[in-house]
Amino acid sequence: KQEVTQIPAALSVPEGENLVLNCSFTDSAIYNLQWFRQDPGKGLTSLLLIQSSQREQTSGRLNASLDKSSGRSTLYIAASQPGDSATYLCAVRMDSNYQLIWGAGTKLIIKP
Amino acid sequence: NAGVMQNPRHLVRRRGQEARLRCSPMKGHSHVYWYRQLPEEGLKFMVYLQKENIIDESGMPKERFSAEFPKEGPSILRIQQVVRGDSAAYFCASSQVAGGPTDTQYFGPGTRLTVL
């Protein structure tokens, strides 16, 4: 049974710092992995999707990497801004299965 | 092209009442997924529907919960005789296809159910 873990559960850093959020999964037979952002009381915004054959994806100040063999993904945020404050969720999709299996998220606070 | 729409955004019910949550998928999407997010937890898959068909309801409690996606109109998640433990955010997602690299699920804003 696939389990997805995100560490740390919460993170508070000063504005301008580069930071890394971690996501690990127990079953490496994934189809893809997505990183989402969730703002309080709001919906989910997809940030990056990495197919199982890919190693990384980039969008602006965000870079997500995937290492299937070790069951890990990282989300790198460069030059963090207060507007980056949110909960970041990772979700994996298994081969031939449409269900997304989610981590509990990392709550990120960027202090001005 | 409007995104996935859910209503109501907030719903308050007393124990024993019924809750009806609606989801209108993106235009052109015929696959709908419901997820539940309990406080301080990640989302959990509940059910996957196509028009007029329940494809997979393995994540949905057997009692009190039901879902439908009629030929016309939104998908409905129905919770009968709600209990406090049903308090959660319920998210709906839709996709154009269900399989392959283009089957990205797009999420709605969620319905936050509070049971008093």
pLDDT in tens, chain A (112 residues): 899 999 999 999 999 999 999 999 999 989 899 999 999 877 888 899 999 999 999 999 999 999 999 999 999 999 999 999 999 999 999 876 678 899 999 999 999 9
Question: Any residues with CB less than 8 A from the CB of B56 and at least 6 apart, and which?
Answer: A98, A99, B47, B48
Please tell me which residue of chain A has the smallest CA distance to B98: A98
Give the Cα separation of A90 and A92 in Å (integer). Answer: 7
pLDDT for B48-96, tens place per residue? 999 899 999 999 999 999 999 999 999 999 999 999 999 999 999 998 8
**Helical (H) or strand (E) element with A10:** strand A10-14
Tokens 């449409």 sit at which residue? A98
* B44 to A4: CB separation less than 8 angstroms, yes or no: no
Chain A residues with beta carbon closer than 8 angstroms to that of B48: 98-99
Chain A positions contacting chain B at CB under 8 Å are: 4, 32, 36, 41-44, 46, 49, 51, 89, 91, 96, 98-105
Chain A residues with beta carbon closer than 8 angstroms to that of B107: 36, 43-44, 46
Question: Can you say how many angstroms the Cα of residue A15 is from the centroid of all Cα atoms in its chain?
Answer: 20
User: Which one of B42, B99, B108 has the shortest CB-CB distance to A102?
Assistant: B42
